Amino acid sequence: MPLTYLPTATLLDGRGGAPIADAAVLIEGRQIRAAGPARQVARPSGEVIDLDARGGFVLPGLIDAHVHLMIEHPNFLGMLNQPPSLGSYRAIGSMRRTLEAGITTVRDAGGADLGAKMAVDEGLVAGPRMQISITILTITGGHADFTTRSGVNLVANTGFAVTCDGPDEVRKAVRRVLRAGAEVIKVCSTGGVLSPTDHPEFTQFTPEELAVAVEEGRARRGVPVMAHALGTDGIKNAIRAGVRSIEHGVFLDDEAIELMLKQGTFLVPTLVAPIGVLETAERTGAISPYTVQKARECNAAHRESIARAYRAGVKIAMGTDAGMVPHGTNLRELGLMCDVGMTPADVLTATTKTAAECLGWEDRVGTVEPGKLADVIITRTDPLADIRSLEDTKNIAVVIKDGQVVKDLFAAEAIPAA
């Protein structure tokens, strides 16, 4: 197998330890063969590809645990006239921008089907490795039911969401998404910001309905459930039912936090999501006044909830809800996580090791260590000193996914001008 050698860099391996100066990484085929101080990771003899790290910082490929690759800046009225295939073509650019931002793995929280995942896996398009939920399960009139009061379903032709009411309908809907290739089940246990006829604090899906979704996932060798959950009671219902992760977590209280700690539930904050809604509303005017009002209501409470959960020790995995913000700008989330009190080191762990654990893929990705898939990035800047520097994708100089170099700004800069 081809060997690739990355010397003379500072290694932040994602395992929570101190940075390793003058480090090296050796990649063999798709896997990491060795990583650590350069004196312990010698360059092998024979045919080796040498990558110039330029004294940069080597990190694991980053992970976004909540994206929607098939949409961007949702204009639901516009979707009425959009053929479904157009969204797939537009997603090609979204996938590429996500990958070039250093995000080599994502969990798609609704919209990407098995074909999108296979297109990336087969190398037909460039993009991050995907864990897919296929579609969003919601109640009639709930979050992701984009049927207006006039009876028009704004996303009827997209497959973006499925409504189901009662345990039997939920069971059948879960079985259908599993049949379609879902690797995680997405449910809405509360209302949300974008939906036209509910509110984030509305409780949706009964405890019995949520338990059925979790039960069906467990029957398929433990397919996990992720819960869109903003309001307090719906958050608690989802945790008690046994979901893997709470998405957003806007209105957490002490009891909800204690339940998360007891159950080992992950929290995926998506702090940038309501900001993205407000930015889109200001720029385009395509967001309804009710949606703008809900986004503003969530902002302050959201930050405080995530701060309290972090201080209590809840497991936090980075996620953005990208699609609400432009794909490729995902790393804005890192600075927002620091703003609520997280340290840069903890934010990087949330974006690598903990996010991998949230996906159940900790045996494959999330750290730079022997045996893991060779997902590695090299940054020009020290993210521990200036985490917001990663928002500029020019500072993500090299991206390696599955042992393949998919971005190398250092090499491009070394080519003499004609």
Sorted by where each starts, the structural domains of the chain and their CATH numbers stand as 3-60+367-414 (2.30.40.10), 62-359 (3.20.20.140)
Residues 331 and 154: their CA atoms lie apart, in Å, by: 30
Q: What is the pLDDT of residue 1?
A: 82
Reading the block at residue 17, the tokens are: 């330890």
Instruction: Please report, for the chain, how many H helices and E strands are present, in that order.
Output: 13, 18
Q: How many CA atoms lie within 13 A of 301 on its CB side?
A: 16
Residue whose C-alpha is closest to residue 239's, from 189, 289, 298: 189
Q: Output b/e per residue, 385-415; b: 16+ Cβ within 10 A.
A: eebbbbbebebbbbbbbbbeebbbbbeeeee
Sign for the CA dihedral angle at 224, 109, 58, 344 comes to: negative
Q: What is the pLDDT of residue 160?
A: 79
233 near 286, Cβ under 8 Å?
no
What's this model's pTM, rounded to 2 decimal places?
A: 0.96
**Strand residues in 339-379 grouped as ranges (E):** 376-379
Q: How many CA atoms lie within 13 A of 158 on its CB side?
A: 28
Neighbours of 134 (CB within 10 A): 27
| CB-count burial class (<10 Å; 0-12, 13-18, 19+) for 418 | exposed
Query: What is the CA angle 199-202-208, rounded to 5?
Result: 145
Residues 373 and 150: their CA atoms lie apart, in Å, by: 50
Contacts with 190 (C-beta within 8 Å, 6 or more apart), sequence order: 143, 200, 201, 202, 203, 204, 228, 229, 230, 231, 233, 234, 235
Q: How many CA atoms lie within 13 A of 333 on its CB side?
A: 36
Q: What is the pLDDT of residue 195?
A: 84
Residues 351 and 53: their CA atoms lie apart, in Å, by: 21
Residues 317 and 129: their CA atoms lie apart, in Å, by: 17
Q: What is the 3-state secondary structure (H, E, C) of 79-113?
A: HCCCCHHHHHHHHHHHHHHHHHCCEEEEEECCCCC
Q: How many residues does the chain have?
A: 418
Neighbours of 192 (CB within 10 A): 27
Q: What is the pLDDT of residue 84?
A: 78
377 near 43, Cβ under 8 Å?
no
pLDDT tens, per residue, the chain with 418 residues: 889 999 989 999 999 889 999 999 999 999 999 999 999 999 998 899 999 999 999 999 999 999 999 988 766 666 667 787 888 999 999 999 999 999 999 999 999 999 999 999 999 999 999 999 999 999 999 998 877 777 666 666 666 789 999 999 999 999 999 999 999 999 999 999 988 889 999 999 999 999 999 999 999 999 999 999 999 999 999 999 999 999 999 999 999 999 999 999 999 999 999 999 999 888 888 788 988 999 999 988 999 999 999 999 999 999 999 999 999 999 999 999 999 999 999 999 999 999 999 999 999 999 999 999 999 999 999 999 999 999 999 999 999 999 999 999 999 888 776 5
Q: What is the pLDDT of residue 16?
A: 85
Residues 385 and 77: their CA atoms lie apart, in Å, by: 43
318 near 351, Cβ under 8 Å?
yes
Residues 37 and 7: their CA atoms lie apart, in Å, by: 9
